[in-house]
Structure 1
Amino acid sequence: MDSLFQEATAATRVESVAMSHVSLEVGHFSMDELANRPDAVRAQFERVAPLVHAFTEMARDEFAERAGGRSRVRVSTCFLIDDYFRGTTDPRAILPGFLRSAQESGIRVDYLGREAGCAVVPKKDSSGAPTKLAQIVADMVVAEPLEGYSGRRPPTTELGWLSNGRPSSDDELRDAMDLRDYVPPLELSRRNHSIYLDVEMWRRDRERDDPYWSCPFLASVWQLLRLGMVRFEGKRVAEPADYRDWATQEWAESWGVLPSIMQLHDAAPFAAFRSVSILPKRYLGIEHSVQQILDHLDIDAGVNEVYAQRAQENRIVATDHLSDRLSHFFLGAG
């Protein structure tokens, strides 16, 4: 039975989630590659297959003692479909060939996620309502106070940008005759030198009721789901739907009616204590932004308590920062 955590100050019950030791993301493709470049998809899968095997074996070695043997280490694989920015494509024309390419390359995709499903979780039935998952995470963002803040920059909640420090003096409004020296940007948590980063998480558009979420922000939601660290009113969100008959599945003609996460095989749990992502090098900047966003989230105390309990049960060290639970391997040009 899943454990529950009840806060002392409220009646909110926080559901626990089953956890693997490692969630292994087995690559990423643009929608253009998925729709129009099957050879590129297969070539990347063939490059990634040995890495998936190697990281799986590394996970078994790392957690063997704590799990009571290598065979008891739980590793699940996942893949995120890029359907938020190009959701007009047809799943029926993409998913069968994509999953066959993975299988024929020696990669088993246990869980298939949708990027648009990280923005809004579709309702399960006609009586329910969609869950605005990205907005739930946006409400957790807490920006650092900026050094020398003048009040001219709107707050993060309004602006949609998250900075790790103070911008340069070029960003300040000045009179044309103001000849004060240029002041460079400054990272707040710098070590000797600064790496200044300002991430656009969302922007508001008059033509949209909801914010237009950025790729780094949706990737942050994806990582939160993989780490089992997001709830809505204490309940689990985007629970994997059973699609284990995918080989004979009649896929929907629209991405939006598919679940946020689909389970394609009998597998270890989707959420995990650690996540490993094998990605093309072009996603390095996005993942840098993800790390910054995750380290600026105020996670509900009940969720942290449930995670700590699960970690203790599995003899896992619970890290202070969410980003410390992430690892990446970036693929160079093939």
Structure 2
Amino acid sequence: MDVRYDEVTQSTKVEAVPLGHLSIETGHLYLDDFADGDRKIARQLEQAAPWLEAAGKRIHRRFGRNARISTCFLVDDYTPSSSSLDQPKPSEVVDIVTAAADQAGFRIDYLAREAGCAIACERPHSGPRDRSALADIVAGLIVEEAAVGANGSRPPTAQTGWLSNGERSPAVAVAMDAPDWDPPEEFGKYKHSVFVDIELWSVDKSVPQAERQYSCSLLSAVWQLLRLGLLRNAGKAVAKPYRFGSNEALPELWSQLPSITQLTPDAAPFAAYQVLSLLPPHFRAAEHAAEIIVDHLRFDGKVLKQTADRARDETNPVTLPDNPVGRVSHLFFDDVHVTHND
């Protein structure tokens, strides 16, 4: 597959994006999860509420009453649904999520689409010229670490779609000639290795000219980078939140919805210096993989400097870590169990 992306050059002006102090992801659900109405959503938001309150108090103590905190909710419209017939419309999901959040004692400022992390669009019914292939851009920024003693027998990440955080066990062609076994080893390990091999995308080889199907891990990395305000396309900001007018109806199809929809009129900025995700534990593996992906990206220095300078110029200065991974936090609460009444 031929992947093309625009890279920021020394002469390109980097567009700034609004930044808050903290972005809190309050939930992440598949469209199939809405088949049972609001029960599962309500339960997840109820579990997130006390942690959201605690995080807010911590930020307010650090930055005062004017601390900029926003909340967001991610809907997975990228993974194929088990039944497209019962797929809820965007307006129905917005009503369910906002009502459940209100019942849990907080509000959700932004609703985001996971498919919008693959290909971003900023306005309803966006055409090809108004879209940015974010997953392709991020995949093109991956820098694979060279394994010690690598002999080229394994193709690079750009060809295989697999990325690891260490050196894999050597492949054995003929069992009878197998050398002594060597375990995989994590780069920069501390005493013992935690080796992870991540699938970034897959391609259906039975379909001619099939497009990549990006993994949850890669899309989660894109999602975190959007929330950190670090993604650009030829220097331009991408996936800017869209606020529907009072007389403007939401599209009928998810593919026609902007990547990020602003739900509250006075919301703090979507992107922030720090991001926190409050999620059920089954997202733990994908989020760990996303951090490894982010750790392997070649960021544009002008974007990082712009963000760091703005943080230091705050009324209460913020010193950001050199590695953006240090700005990402997770809290995994008890899984959601919904009892169905017969």
| TM-score when normalising by structure 2 | 0.87
AA matched with 2:19:
M
Q: State the partner residue of 1:67.
A: none
Any conservation in 2 of the 1:113–1:261 contact (CA below 8 Å)? Answer: yes
Deviation, structure 1 residue 156:
0.6
Q: How many residues matched?
A: 317
Q: Distance in 2 between the 1:179 and 1:160 partners?
A: 27
Q: Distance in 1 between the 2:122 and 2:240 partners?
A: 12
Deviation, structure 1 residue 54:
1.3
Q: Root-mean-square deviation (CA), in Å?
A: 2.0
Q: 1:244 to 1:71 in 2, by over 3 A?
A: farther
Q: State the partner residue of 1:282.
A: 282
Extract unaligned runs of 5+ from structure 2.
1-7, 337-342
1:84 corresponds to 2:78: yes
Deviation, structure 1 residue 14:
0.3
Deviations 1:242-273 (A, max 9, x none): 1374xx86332210000000111111111100
Q: State the partner residue of 2:53.
A: 53
Any conservation in 2 of the 1:141–1:293 contact (CA below 8 Å)? Answer: yes
Q: 1:179 to 1:18 in 2, by over 3 A?
A: closer
AA matched with 2:71:
T
AA matched with 2:88:
D
Any conservation in 2 of the 1:244–1:263 contact (CA below 8 Å)? Answer: no
Deviations 1:125-169 (A, max 9, x none): 558342111111111111111122121111111111111111123
Q: Distance in 2 between the 1:36 and 1:96 partners?
A: 14
> Which runs of 4 or more aligned residues in structure 1 lie more than 6 Å from their structure 2 counterparts after TM superposition?
none
| TM-score when normalising by structure 1 | 0.89
Which secondary structure does the structure 1 equivalent of 2:261 belong to?
strand
Q: State the partner residue of 1:19.
A: 19
Deviation, structure 1 residue 291:
0.9
Alignment of 1:174-185 (within 5 A): 174-185=173-184
Q: Distance in 1 between the 2:291 and 2:196 partners?
A: 11
Alignment of 1:26-175 (within 5 A): 26-36=26-36, 38-61=38-61, 63-64=62-63, 70-86=64-80, 88=84, 89-91=87-89, 92-122=91-121, 124=123, 125=126, 128-169=129-170, 172-175=171-174
Larger mean Cα displacement after TM superposition, 119-128 or 97-106:
119-128
Deviations 1:187-236 (A, max 9, x none): 11100110000111112234465311000110110000000001001000
Q: 1:98 to 1:249 in 2, by over 3 A?
A: farther
Q: State the partner residue of 2:323.
A: 321
Q: Distance in 2 between the 1:160 and 1:256 partners?
A: 25
Any conservation in 1 of the 2:122–2:259 contact (CA below 8 Å)? Answer: no
Q: Distance in 1 between the 2:281 and 2:128 partners?
A: 43
AA matched with 1:307:
T
Q: Distance in 2 between the 1:198 and 1:110 partners?
A: 35
Q: State the partner residue of 1:304.
A: 304
1:194 corresponds to 2:196: no
Q: Distance in 1 between the 2:231 and 2:106 partners?
A: 28
Any conservation in 2 of the 1:19–1:228 contact (CA below 8 Å)? Answer: yes
Which secondary structure does the structure 2 equivalent of 1:23 belong to?
strand
Q: 1:123 to 1:80 in 2, by over 3 A?
A: closer
Q: Distance in 2 between the 1:126 and 1:115 partners?
A: 18
Extract unaligned runs of 5+ from structure 1.
1-6, 65-69
